[in-house]
Amino acid sequence: MLANQRTLLGILCIALTLSMPCAVQAVPSGGTEPAAVVNEAPATKDRLQDFIKVQLETLSEQQGYESWKRAGIEVTALGPGTHGWLVLLNVNGRDAGYLIITAGDDGTLTLAEYGRGTVALFNLKTLYAAMLQQELIPRTLSWYAFQNNGKYKFMPVYLSPLQAFWQVTKRDGTILYFEPRTGELLPLHKAQMAAYGRLSVSMPTSAAASSAEPDSLMLASFDPYETLTWIRKAPETVPTFDALEALLRQKRKTVYSWEPFGRTLGYTAAVVGFEVRPGSEPYVLLHHEDSTRAVSFSSLQQSGGFY
């Protein structure tokens, strides 16, 4: 049975490089100037800051993202070897959304995905609460000690928009894997995960853009499990974004389902719309309980099916 995904609260900056610790300077709520990215080459830091600023300025013009104009931000590196960053947004001290930015082999920066609402990826506080609940750490272990006692090494890993996880290494070398939004322990092991090196995943590009004009559609959210008839059906044929757009404009309830690590795990999400911006590939909106994330259409084509 496919497992339902749950929500994630809060933000945390961990490290900005894989080999060295770093500090990330968060911008107070009220401005959109990107946070300073330290321990990066000056050219990379400047390009990343400029890219974040442009993305926030552009997205904040869209309905539902207006608050991002005054968002403070924190930047966290993703690893290992993924050349990506998690940008967490907050408005008036509350979580407002996130961006995932990746860098290609040629250094080109792209917006892999973004999400709004009071959830984000890779919240260490959520992981701490989940590990307590699952009795994987002593209940006497405080939040401060969890972060600072050196018994655990936390690494956010983002292989693709639909293949992300916490990797937690214990002092004795044991490695555990956790769902990046809920902190749920995943039934995965090191030998199995070794097969998932850095993936070659198509990310949004200007060449993939399907429209020269901004366009969007937002539908009501729904529970993919309110009816299970779709499970017995074959996926819809959606070779192009235009085909998916046609389905959604008919206001058909459409479910997206994927198995990120073979048949070990399965997930579903309600498809609740799309967003298209000039010079960018279309993004499909997936709803997970209290949050909506926008993922490039090409990434969804590779990783799962529409029902």
Please report whether residue 184 resides in a domain. no
- 30 part of a folded domain: no
What is residue 151's predicted lDDT score, i.e. its pLDDT?
Answer: 86
- 300 within some domain: yes
In a domain, 260, yes or no: yes
Examine residue 26 and state whether it is found in any structural domain, yes or no. no
pLDDT at site 230? 86
Residue 15 placed within a domain: no
Q: How many CB atoms lie within 10 A of CB 227?
A: 11
Domain count, the chain: 1
pLDDT in the model for residue 63: 84
Domain of 282 in residue numbering reads as 206-306
Please report whether residue 286 resides in a domain. yes
Average pLDDT per run of 10 along the chain, which is 307 residues long?
34 29 36 46 80 93 90 87 86 89 87 83 89 94 88 89 91 92 89 62 46 80 88 87 93 91 86 89 87 90 89
For residue 167, give the nearest of 191, 146, 193 by alpha carbon: 193
Position 53 scores a pLDDT of: 94
| pLDDT of amino acid 181 | 86
pTM: 0.78
Q: Judge whether 228 lies within some domain.
A: yes
